[in-house]
């Protein structure tokens, strides 16, 4: 066992004395040490209850003959960080999470790991760590929040609140109505109810084969979640015994399965940042061109909130991720022989059943014949950009209009809520990319404000930043190269005509190459926004969004 490095032999007597200071007994030191990386905290609703999930996983580890050892992992609540300086830290923590887990696992010689994330950057950060460390590992998340309910029974999610805030700011919703929604929208612990980034990534863990079926959809408050955690703890010892390692599971075949699921579910655009970053740690490249290749043959089967009305719990009742994969397998869009931590993906998929075709459409009756996400290219985004096409109104799939230029999110939000944006405008928010932000903020507030005032189907928004999974509308993010790197988005001027054709996968500014070159010759890089601390280091090291915004060499 790897842990024998710190437990066995006369030279390790000092080490054993420290274990005994922790309460370990000799019988425990003869068994595998299983690290449990748990992101529990009292600031993230999706992580509030992870102590219970971790205890259940630890119980499973002990039942199977291992010794569980919990250690903490940080996590930012994207919802609380949204719309202010705090959002600059969200994506940036993904690298910190991966690095810190690597440090803990390597320093203490754990034999295997159970990862317990739930929200946004914590899931991909842990997946990156698992691939990098490459010791036997399994995942179990905290599960999604149940949807809130309005007095008439309409499901409410966090998107409801951001859109309500936009409506209130523009005078379309009074304070009493806003306060009532505030009380009802988020009823308890769990990752926010909808196909937002957290739930997208937790569903993706199932398609990758690194977690048991149900991990992405079983609600946080269900006893099923605790049972799943116990089974995961037991499974970890089996994975250790069989020496199944993350890089065996996280194969190219697994990532193709994950992309197919992504397209069928209409996941968050953030998956286009995280999957390339995880693949890089697993040893291969996953680029935006592959995203479109998979999208071209994978139908969109689900339109959960924010693209539709159904919250994530409805996907669970309908059969969950396995049922979606089962539908896709009927057209051979899923590699059922892909290795998982419990066997092959087919072991779960073949037994699955679609219980509700209004939530999971049949493969014969999809919402569209192409996937939920699309990558666009053109003179405005030579390296590409990303849109959640399943959440775009049909009238906005092909559009053009004058650019309205804003050099930060806050200025754009003020213009939207102040009535300065008209139907047909194309809002451009720049200098919010990985380096320019720094941190590549999610910008749910502007898109929710557009929805709140009824312009989400009349106005496009493009940015070198990114969007929350809760965003809907013609919101095009990850424009690369970013403005801070001298990308064309930095050269745009008020009134330039932006042309967007999502079905054709193009995005262009109506300017001659000579004019773009002339503007480029006059452009000067902006002053660095942050000169100290972690964000300054992130700004120096973060790469292009087109390749996952991973750390590059300084």
Catalytic residue ranges:
468
Rounded Cα distance, 430 and 465, in Å: 7
Report yes or no: 55 and 114 within 8 Å, Cβ to Cβ. no
> 410 vs 161, 267, 459, 536, 545, CA distance in Å?
18, 26, 18, 21, 21
Distance of CA 549 to the CA centre of its chain: 13
Cβ(39)–Cβ(75) below 8 Å: yes
Integer angstrom CA distances of residue 385 from 377, 410, 466, 481, 509: 7, 22, 10, 9, 14
Q: How far is CA 79 from CA 83, 198, 442, in A?
A: 9, 11, 10
Q: What angle do the packed helices 158-169 and 175-184 form, to 10 degrees?
A: 170
* Helix %, strand %, coil % of the chain (to 5): 45, 15, 40
Sign of CA dihedral 193, 505, 547, 448: negative
**Alpha-carbon gap, residue 374 to 207, rounded angstroms:** 19
CA separation for the pair 397, 222 (Å, rounded)? 39
Inter-CA distances, 272 with 292, 374, 389, 393, 547, Å: 11, 10, 13, 21, 9
Contact 2, 110 (CB under 8 A): yes
Three-state DSSP state, 88: helix
Which DSSP string do the residues of 347-394 spell out, in sequence order?
HHHTT-----TTTS--TTS-SBSS-S-EEEEETTEEEEEEE-GGGS-G
Closest to 183 (Cα-Cα) out of 133, 148, 226, 217: 148
- What's the chain's length in residues? 554
Q: What does the block give as tokens for 370? A: 């192409």
What is the torsional sign of CA 141, 330, 297, 338?
positive
Residue closest to 142 by CA, chosen among 92, 204, 192, 89: 192
434 and 411 Cβ atoms separated by less than 8 Å:
no
Which residues, 6 or more positions from 537, have their beta carbon under 8 angstroms from its beta carbon?
none
> Considering all CA atoms of the chain, what is the largest pairwise distance in Å, rounded to the nearest integer?
76
Task: Quote the CA–CA distance of 492 and 473 in Å, as a whole number.
Answer: 22
Residue 424 three-state SS: coil
């Amino acid at each position: 066992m790897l842990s024998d490095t710190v437990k066995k032999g006369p030279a390790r007597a000092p080490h054993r004395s420290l274990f005994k200071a922790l309460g370990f007994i000799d019988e425990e030191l003869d068994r595998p040490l299983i690290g449990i990386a748990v992101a529990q905290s009292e600031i993230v609703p999706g992580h509030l209850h992870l102590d219970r999930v971790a205890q259940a996983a630890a119980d499973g580890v002990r039942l199977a003959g291992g010794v569980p050892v919990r250690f903490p992992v940080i996590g930012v609540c994207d919802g609380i960080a949204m719309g202010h300086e705090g959002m600059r830290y969200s994506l940036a923590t993904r690298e910190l999470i991966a690095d810190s887990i690597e440090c803990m696992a390597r320093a203490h010689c754990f034999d295997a790991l159970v990862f317990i994330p739930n929200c946004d950057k914590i899931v991909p950060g842990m997946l990156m760590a698992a691939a990098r460390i490459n010791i036997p590992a399994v995942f179990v998340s905290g599960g999604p929040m149940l949807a809130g309910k309005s007095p008439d029974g309409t499901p409410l999610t966090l998107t409801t609140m951001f859109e309500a805030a936009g409506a209130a700011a523009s005078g379309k919703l009074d304070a009493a109505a806003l306060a009532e929604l505030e009380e009802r929208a988020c009823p308890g612990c769990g990752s926010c109810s909808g196909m937002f980034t957290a739930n997208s990534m937790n569903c993706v863990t199932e398609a990758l084969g690194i977690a048991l079926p149900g991990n992405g959809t079983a609600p946080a408050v269900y006893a099923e979640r605790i049972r799943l955690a116990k089974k995961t703890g037991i499974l970890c010892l089996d994975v250790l015994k069989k020496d199944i390692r993350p890089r065996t599971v996280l194969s190219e075949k697994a990532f193709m399965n994950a992309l197919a699921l992504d397209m069928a579910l209409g996941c968050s655009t953030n998956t286009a940042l995280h999957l390339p970053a995880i693949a890089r740690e697993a040893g291969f490249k996953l680029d935006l061109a592959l995203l479109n290749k998979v999208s071209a043959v994978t139908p969109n089967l689900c339109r959960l909130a924010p693209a539709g009305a159904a919250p994530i719990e409805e996907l669970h009742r309908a059969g969950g991720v396995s049922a979606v994969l089962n539908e896709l397998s009927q057209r051979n869009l899923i590699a059922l022989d892909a290795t998982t931590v419990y066997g092959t993906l087919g072991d779960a998929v073949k037994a699955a059943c679609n219980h509700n075709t209004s939530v999971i459409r049949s493969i014969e009756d999809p919402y569209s014949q192409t996937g939920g996400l699309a990558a666009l290219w053109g003179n405005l985004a030579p390296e590409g950009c990303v849109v959640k096409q399943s959440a775009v109104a049909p009238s906005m799939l092909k559009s053009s209009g004058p650019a309205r230029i804003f050099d930060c999110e806050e200025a754009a939000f003020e213009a939207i809520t102040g009535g300065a944006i008209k139907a047909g405008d194309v809002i451009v928010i720049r200098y919010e990319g990985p380096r320019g932000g720094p941190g590549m903020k999610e910008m749910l507030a502007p898109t929710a404000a557009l929805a709140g005032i009824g312009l989400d189907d009349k106005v496009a928004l493009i940015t070198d930043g990114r969007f929350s999974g809760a965003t809907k509308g013609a919101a095009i993010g990850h424009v690369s190269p970013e403005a801070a790197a001298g990308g064309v988005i930095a050269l745009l001027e008020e009134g330039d005509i932006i042309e967007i054709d999502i079905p054709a996968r193009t995005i262009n500014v109506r300017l001659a190459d000579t004019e773009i070159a002339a503007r480029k010759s006059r452009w000067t890089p902006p002053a660095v926004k942050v000169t100290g601390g972690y964000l300054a280091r992130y700004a120096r090291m973060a790469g292009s969004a087109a390749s996952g915004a991973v750390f590059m060499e300084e």
